[in-house]
Amino acid sequence: VTNGGKSTLAKNLQKHLPNCSVISQDDFFKPESEIETDKNGFLQYDVLEALNMEEMMSAISCWRENAGCSLVPTEERAEETPILIIEGFLLFNYKPLDTLWNRSYFLTIPYEECKRRRSTRVYKPPDTPGYFDGHVWPMYLKHKQEMEEALTWEIVYLDGTKSEEDLFSQVYEDLTQELAKQKCKYCT
């Protein structure tokens, strides 16, 4: 969900996890001139077509190649396992990413909180009057439903109204436990 805390959580995790990188879907928006407009005059930013997903996939492939992800970690390198956090609002609706997930988290916040947070942000181009109710929130609900209908893996839903610290602690603990399991696989 927009303004749910995805970027903040990803940045906090990156600060605390060794050998961690973040790729943000927001960095792959097409130029405004390439964004379609709906019948109400709203720019269609909340759709996959507004994003250069091929370029994002290329960045992920480049990271995987350069981080040595194809190498099997040895006992000595297990603590330095490269970690890639991919954060964004339409990741689970883009099928080519389905095979990449080791862990998946989905931040949710209620409508009122989402609208309040969105109103405090400055976007380029700026949100036009009625944009949140006429485009952003309906697209979120549509894409969330599509995602849930197509899920073939487990997603952990996180309450985005919790404090940054609580969300960080929850995900950090989960990830460090997963990394410990991975390390044990290579220690036998």
Cα separation of 12 and 21, whole Å? 11
26 assigned to active site:
yes
Say whether the peptide bond before residue 125 is cis (omega within 30 degrees of 0). yes
> Active site residue: 26, 133, 166, 174, which one?
26
Cα separation of 10 and 77, whole Å? 23
Cα separation of 146 and 152, whole Å? 12
Cα separation of 182 and 17, whole Å? 15
Q: CB atoms < 10 A from the CB of 114, how many? A: 21
Cα separation of 185 and 179, whole Å? 10
Catalytic positions are 26
